[in-house]
Every structure is written in structure tokens, then in C-alpha cells.
Amino acid sequence: MYAVIKTGGKQYKVAAGEKIKVEQIAADVGQEIVIDQVLAVGNGAEIRIGTPLVSGATVKATVVAHGLHDKVRIFKMRRRKHYQKRQGHRQQFTELMIASING
């Protein structure tokens, strides 16, 4: 069984037992959270697609860790104008372990 969930403005296809990294969620490590924004639920050949959400479907997950992604380096330059600008960014994430899919 799998589900397509929406969190942090992005969509993820998840199944029970998987670990995924999503945008940071305000929850403690070890805390169980319930994601109720489920866009689709599938089991083998059958699939239920929501309009926009599947009613009554939830995904239970446990927060495994919080962390930072790899640094993205930004470099801007205008040739012959003596302009160079360097920036960096490390996006925060929350790692989730999908426990079960109800729906």
C-alpha cells in the first residue's frame, strides 16, 4: 500500500516502513505525527484519488531526526564590471519514518 502526501508545499509518494526527508516540521524527535493531507491512496492495481484530498485517509509517521541539507552555493558575476557576489544556503529538513497508511 502506498500514498501520495503533501507537506511543506511538496508531494511525496510514501509506503509503510520508508524514511523520507521533508521540509522542517515543528515536532520533537521520537514524536508521532499524523499527516492528513493525502492526495491519493493505492493498493496494487486499485487507486483512490482525492478531489483534492482523499476523505478519511491519514498517514502516521515518527520523527527520526532534524538536520541540514548540503550547502547550495550561489555565485553571481557580471563580467568586466568588477562585480562578484557569493552566497550559500543550507535548507533544514525533518526525517520521518512512515509507520502506517490508513485509508
Q: What does the pLDDT look like over 6-58, one tens digit per residue?
A: 999 999 999 999 999 999 999 999 999 999 999 999 998 999 999 999 999 99
Radius of gyration of the chain (CA): 19
Pull the grid cell for residue 67: 538536520
Specify burial of residue 69 (Cβ count, 10 A radius: 0-12, 13-18, 19+). exposed
How far apart, in whole angstroms, are the C-alpha atoms of residue 26 and residue 11?
A: 18
Residue range 73-85: mean pLDDT, rounded: 98
How far apart, in whole angstroms, are the C-alpha atoms of residue 42 and residue 16?
A: 12
Number of residues that make up the chain = 103
How far apart, in whole angstroms, are the C-alpha atoms of residue 56 and residue 58?
A: 7
pLDDT band of 64, cuts 50, 70, 90: very high
Residue range 61-75: mean pLDDT, rounded: 98
With cell 484519488, the residue in question is: 49
**For residue 103, what pLDDT is reported?**
82
**For residue 23, what pLDDT is reported?**
97
Residue range 63-78: mean pLDDT, rounded: 98
Pull the grid cell for residue 93: 529538513
Pull the grid cell for residue 10: 511538496
**For residue 85, what pLDDT is reported?**
98
